[in-house]
Structure 1
Amino acid sequence: MSKEKVTAQKHRPTITIVPRRLSAIQHKINPQSDNKQDAHLNNIPDVQSTAISSTILPAKRLPPLETKHDLVDLNPNNRLSTPINVRILTPKTETSRNVKNPKQPNVWSGICSGLIIIGSVLTALTIYLPIYYLIIQPANSQSSFTNITVSGCYATTCIGQETPYRTSTITVIYPFDANTNDASGYAIGTAFGLSGPGYTGYCYVGYQALVLASLYQQYISIPYVNLSQRSFTIETWIMLYNSAASSNYGLFGQCDSNSICLSISVQNSRFVVSFNSMVTNNYTLTGSTFVSANIWFHLTVVYDAVLYQQRIYVNGRIDGISSGIVPSYQGTSTGSLTTIGRSSSLGYGTTYFQGRIDNFMISAGVVRTTCQILNDATLTAYFPFDATDPLNDRSINLYGSVSSPSITISTGRVNDALYFTSSTSYFQSQCFPNSGLDDPPYSFSLWINPSSLIGGGTIIHMSNLIYGNGSICYDLLALTNTGQLVAQWMLSNNTFDGFHGPTIPAGTWTHIAYVYSETNGVRLYVGGQLIAMSFNTPILNIKDFITILYVTLGNISPLGSSASVSCNNVAALSIASGSFIGAIDEFRIYSRELDSREICVLANP
C-alpha cells in the first residue's frame, strides 16, 4: 500500500489532480475566417470532425460526428424478470336528362391536375419527413415509466452519440471560471458595464459562473465570430434572477455597422432568436418553454443553412422550429460587435441580461445533431477510465477529478478501468450540480467488479464537502459485508431510506443503474433488469446546497475508510461503508431519468 503524502493540509492525502481541461482546445481557430471549411451539402450527412490535438484519445464508442455546413446557396426562393424486494412492479346524384351536347371532360386537364397534386404531396413529404424523423421524433422521445416492460435493446437511443471529446468544431467556449477567457486562448472577452460583472460559485459547470446585472448594463464583448451565411450552433447554461414575464433580457447579439443584427434573448419568459432583429421584416422564432427564475436552463440555438431553418432546444429537447424558408443571417464583419449578455431588437432596443451565464459555446459552420444536443444538456459527467487520460471527464462539461496513488489501471468492461487496491483508494469529482429544481431527475450508471464477496464497501458516496462529510453525506450505492447491493436516498427531513438489491458476484463485471425522478421514485437496475423500486416517491433533499456536490467512488472520503466522517446510513440495511476493493468502469451521471431502453444499451456495450 502506497503511503500518501501530505499536501495542502496536514492529513490530506496526496492526490492526482485532473483539473478541467479547458486548455485542451490547443490549436487556435480563427473565428473571423471567411474561408470555406466544408463542402456544399445537398443533404445532411455526418462529416468527420478534425481532432484538436495531435493525439486523438480513443473513444469507447464511435460517436456521430457533427454536420458541418458552410457557405451554401441561401437565397430565400426498451420481459423483465420479476422485480424483488420492494414494489414490483354518399349523397344522392342526379342524372343528366335532356341535356343537349353536354361538355366532354378534358382528359389532359385531369391528368395534369393529378400530376400537380402528386408532385405537391411528394414535395411536402420530402421536406417534412427528414425534419420529423431527424429532429421532432427523436427530440420528443421522453423517459417513461411504462418503458420498464420493454424487452431487448433498441438502437434508437442517444446513448453513445455524444459530441466528440475535445471536438475541434467548437469555435469558442467561455467557461466563465472567474474570467472572460476563451478556452482556446484565441478570443478573449472584455467586460463592460457601470461596474464590473461578478462571478459566483453557484455555477452549473466548473468552478464559477458569470453574473450580470441589467441595471448596470453589464455584458461581455468578444472578438468577431463569423455566423453570416452559414449554419451555426450556440449553447449555454443560463439562470434568470428575475421573472421575464413582461421583460426582455439580452443573451447574445451580433450587429454590424449597418445594424444588421442577430439576437438571442429571453422575451416574455420565452427564448427568442431573431435575424434582422432591428427591422420590421425580421425572421424571429419564439420557444414554448416558460423560463422561470432561479433555475438553470440549457439553451441551444441552431441555424441549419441546408434546411433554411432556425431551431431552439431547451434542456436538450426541441422547443421551437421555424416554419417556411428562413434566410441566413447576413451581417458582415465590418464594424461588427459580438456580445454575451446583450442584444438589440426593434421592439426593445438594446437590452441586457439579468442573472447567471455558464459555459457559453459557439460552433460556427456546425449543426449539432439532436442526440448531441440532448447529451450536451443532460450527460453531466462521463468517466470511461481509459488508460489514456484515465481521470478525464469526456462529457462536454470537462469536470475535473482527483484520485489516490493507490489506484491502478486494469482491464475494464470496456477497454480500461480503475482498480481500487487498498483502504485508501478513491476517485472523486465535484460533478453533481444543483439545477435549482426541488427534485430534479438524475441517473447514475457504472460497471463494478468486486474482488471479493466479503468486506462490503462504498460504491458511490455523495457529499457537499470535499472530505466526504457535510450536511449532505451518505452512500448512494454500497455493499453489505456479504456483498449484497444497497441503494439509498436522502429525504427532505434529513432522514434516509433505501432497499437491498441482489448479491453482486465477485470476479465478474456487473452493470448497475440508479435512476430517480419525482414521478417514479428510485429504481435500481442490475444487468439491465429492473430489480427494485421505492414504495413511495422519495422527495430528495438535494436542492438546498449551493455548490456542486462531490461524488466519491470506492470510498467514503479522500482520507480513506478510516477517516472520521459522520454520515447517515439506514441501519437496517447493514451497509459496510468504506473502501471498495475491485474495479469500476464506465461511470456516467445524467441530469435526466434514463428509460429501460437506454439502460439496456448501457448494460450491453
Structure 2
Amino acid sequence: MPYLGQGRALSVTAAQNQSFQVSTPFLNLASTSFTIEAWIYSTIVTGDNGVMGQCQCTSCSNQCFFFLIRSSKLYVGFTLNDINGLTTMTVNTWYHVAFVYNSVTKQQILYLNGVQDNIKSSSSAYQGTNGTFTIGSAKYYPSTTFFNGYIDNVKIETLAKSATEILTAASLIAYYSFDSPNPTYDNGPNGLNGSSINAGIVTGRVNQGIQFTGSSSYFQAYGFYQAGYGVNSNKPFSISMWISTSSYSSCAFVQMSTAYNGGSCFNMLGIWSYTGNAAQLVAQGYAWPAIYGPSITLNTWTHVSWTFSLTNGYRLYVNGVYFGTTGYYSYSGTSGVINWLQIGYSFTCSGNYISNAAFQGIIDEIYVHNREITATEVYTFANP
C-alpha cells in the first residue's frame, strides 16, 4: 500500500519485531548537516513507535539517533538532545515527515506535511560513528521500539534542506514539463512517469510542450492519491498548466479516472463553445460545482490553475489572476482508489458542464499538488 500508485511501500508489524536494516554501507551522519524524509502511515500512534534510527550508544549523549511517533506526535533526537513535534497525528493517515539538522545554524527542525512543526536552536551535532540504520524501528534508551503500518519513499541526504524544498517534497504530486530527452517523465519528487498516445512534442510555453490532435491523442499517468477524485473526500488539491487551443470546439482537457481504460471518471477542466466562433474556459469539481471562465483566443497561451480546499471551495485562476470561486464546498463521494490522470481527453465521463470531446492544441508545464496553492504561487507559475 504505497502512498503513491507507483512501486511499493514497506509494511511492518511491531508484534513481529519487523524492520528494514541498512548495515552496509554505513550511513555516516556524524558531525554534518542532514535531512531525512519519508511518507508514513501508522495504525498506532499511542505510546512509542519507532519510525527509523541509528544507534552507537543508547545512553551516550548525541550517539543514538531516533525518529519516533510518541504519544501521537513526532519525537526525534540524538539522545539527551531531542525535539518534540507539536501537531497531534491520527491513525490510518498518510503523513510526510521530515527532520533537518543544520550543522551551521545548530538547529533541529521538524516538518509535518511540509509545514514546520517545531524548531530547536543551540543543538549539538549527532556523533554516532557506527551502527545499523533501521527503518520501521528505533532504539530509544535501553529498548527498541517498532512501527505498525507502512513507510514509503525514505530519503536521507547529507545537507540541510530548505523549508521550500521540504514543502515541495511533501505537496508536489507531479510536475510534467514535457521537455526532451524524457518528455513524459515526472520531474517532481515522486516519479509518476506518464505515457503519450498519438501526441507530439513541439515548442511549448517553456521549452517544449505536448501537442494533441484529436480523439485518440492524449497523455496519461497513474498514481494520484489526492487530486480531486481520490481516496479520501474533501482533501485539498491544485492543478496548474499552460494551454494553447487551436480549435473553438467544446472539449475536455483534464480528467481523472479509476482505471487506465476509463472505469469511473470525471472531467475537471475543459473548453465550452456555443457558436464555434468563440470559446471560454470551464472548470468543474466533483459532484458538479462549476465555474465558467473568461474567453480564450486561438493559438494563444493561457495559464489555468484550479484549486480546492474545504475552506475556500473551488477556485479558478486565469493568467495568474483570481477569476472566481464556488465558495465553501464539501463533497463526500470519492473514487476510493488511486487514480489516473488524462490530459487532452481520453474517456467518455459523466458530467454536466464539460463536453466529452478531444482537445486540439498544446499543453505545457503541468503541476499537480496535494494542497491548495496560494495566489502568489499561482502568479509565479503564470509568469515563468
User: For residues 588 and 489 of structure 1, what CA distance do their matches in structure 2 show?
Assistant: 18
Question: What's the offset of the Cα at 1:257?
Answer: 6.3
CA contact (8 A) 1:522 1:538 kept: no
Q: Which digits, 9 at most, give the CA deviation of each residue in 1:445-483, with x for residues without a partner?
A: 000000111x2221101111111222xx11000112443
2:372 matches 1:577: no
Tell me the equivalent position of 2:32: 230
Alignment match, 1:137: none
Counterpart code for 2:351: N
Does residue 485 (structure 1) correspond to residue 317 (structure 2)? The answer is: no
Q: Which residue of 2 aligns with 1:448?
A: 243
Distance in 1 separating the partners of 2:234 and 2:58: 47
Return 5+ residue gaps in structure 1 as ranges.
Answer: 1-199, 277-281, 558-564
Among 162, 186, 195, the alignment partner of 1:402 is 195
User: Is 1:589 matched up with 2:368?
Assistant: yes
State yes or no: 1:218 paired with 2:24.
Answer: no
Paired with 1:258 and 1:527, the residues of 2 have a C-alpha distance of 56
Aligned to 1:419: 211
Equivalent of 1:297, from 95, 98, 102? 95
Question: Cα deviations across residues 272-316 of structure 1 (Å, max 9, x unaligned)?
Answer: 11102xxxxx10100111111111110010111111111101111
Match of 1:541 among 327, 333, 340: 333
1:568 and 1:207 map into 2 onto residues whose CA distance is 30
Where does residue 327 of structure 1 map in the other structure? Answer: 124
- Within 1, Cα distance between the matches of 2:145 and 2:93? 21
SS of the counterpart of 2:88? coil
| Deviation, structure 1 residue 421 | 1.9
Deviation of 1:541 after TM superposition, in Å, equals 2.9
8 Å CA contact retained: 1:304, 1:367? yes
Q: Which residue among 359, 366, 375 is the counterpart of 2:168?
A: 375
The residue type equivalent to 1:521 in the other structure is: G
Residue aligning to 1:176? none
| Mapped contact 1:295–1:436 kept (Cα < 8 A) | no
Asked if residue 312 in structure 1 is aligned to residue 110 in structure 2, the reply is yes
2:7 to 201, 207, 214: 207
Cα distance in 2 between the residues matched to 1:257 and 1:592: 41
Change (3 A) 1:578 1:350: same
**Secondary structure in 2 aligned to 1:392?**
coil
Amino acid at match of 2:283: A
Q: 2: CA distance between counterparts of 1:449 and 1:391?
A: 19
The one-letter amino acid of 1:541's match is G
Indicate the residue corresponding to 2:254 in structure 1. 460
Partner letter of residue 488 of structure 1?
Answer: Q
C-alpha contact 2:231 2:336 (8 A) present in aligned 1:
no
Query: What letter matches 2:67 in structure 1?
Result: I
**In structure 1, how many angstroms separate the alpha carbons of the residues matched to 2:165 and 2:191?**
15
Unaligned runs of 5+ in 2: none
Determine if the alignment matches structure 1 residue 355 to structure 2 residue 118: no
Computing the radius of gyration from Cα coordinates, the structure with the larger value is 1
Cα 1:371–1:536 shift into 2, 3 Å: closer
Give the drift of 1:524. Answer: 0.7
Aligned CA distance change for structure 1 residues 350 and 535 (closer, same or farther; 3 Å): closer
* Aligned residue runs from structure 1 range 53-92, under 5 A: none
SS of residue in 1 equivalent to 2:259: coil
Alignment RMSD (CA, Å): 1.8
Native 8 Å contact 1:465 1:550 kept in 2: yes
Q: Which amino acid aligns with 1:381?
A: A
Does residue 265 of structure 1 match 2:68? Answer: yes
Structure-to-structure mapping, 1:466-505, within 5 angstroms: 466-470=260-264, 473-481=265-273, 482=276, 483-491=279-287, 496-505=288-297
Q: Which amino acid aligns with 1:377?
A: A
| Matching residue of 1:41 | none
Q: Which residue of 2 aligns with 1:283?
A: 81
Measured in 2, the distance between the counterparts of 1:384 and 1:591 equals: 18
Assess, with a 3 A threshold, how the Cα gap between structure 1 residues 578 and 540 changes in structure 2: closer, same or farther. farther
Structure 2 counterpart SS, 1:545: coil
Aligned partners of 1:475 and 1:556 also within 8 Å: no
Q: State the aligned residue count.
A: 372
1:388 matched to 2:174: no
CA shift for structure 1 position 261: 1.2
Counterpart of 1:229, as a letter, is S
1:532 CA displacement: 2.1
Distance 1:290 1:401, change over 3 A: same
Residue matched to 2:224: 432
Q: CA contact under 8 A between 1:205 and 1:359: conserved in structure 2?
A: no
Contact 1:317–1:374 (CA<8 Å) still a contact in 2? yes
Tell me the amino acid that sits aligned with residue 447 of structure 1: W
What letter matches 2:321 in structure 1?
A: Q
Give, as a single letter, the amino acid of the residue that structure 2 aligns with 1:210: L
CA 1:205 to 1:253, structure 2 compared with 1: closer, same or farther past 3 Å?
Answer: farther
Match of 2:350 in 1: 568
Aligned-partner SS, 1:515? strand
- Seen in structure 2, the aligned counterparts of structure 1 residues 436 and 569 have a Cα distance that, compared at 3 Å, is closer
TM-score by length of 1: 0.59
Query: Is 1:514 matched with 2:297?
Result: no
1:188-235 deviations in Å (ceiling 9; x for gaps): xxxxxxxxxxxx3x5336232221111111100013210111110000
Higher helix share: 1
Moved more, 434-443 or 294-303: 434-443
Quote the sequence identity (%). 34
**Conservation of the 8 A alpha-carbon contact between 2:58 and 2:141:** no
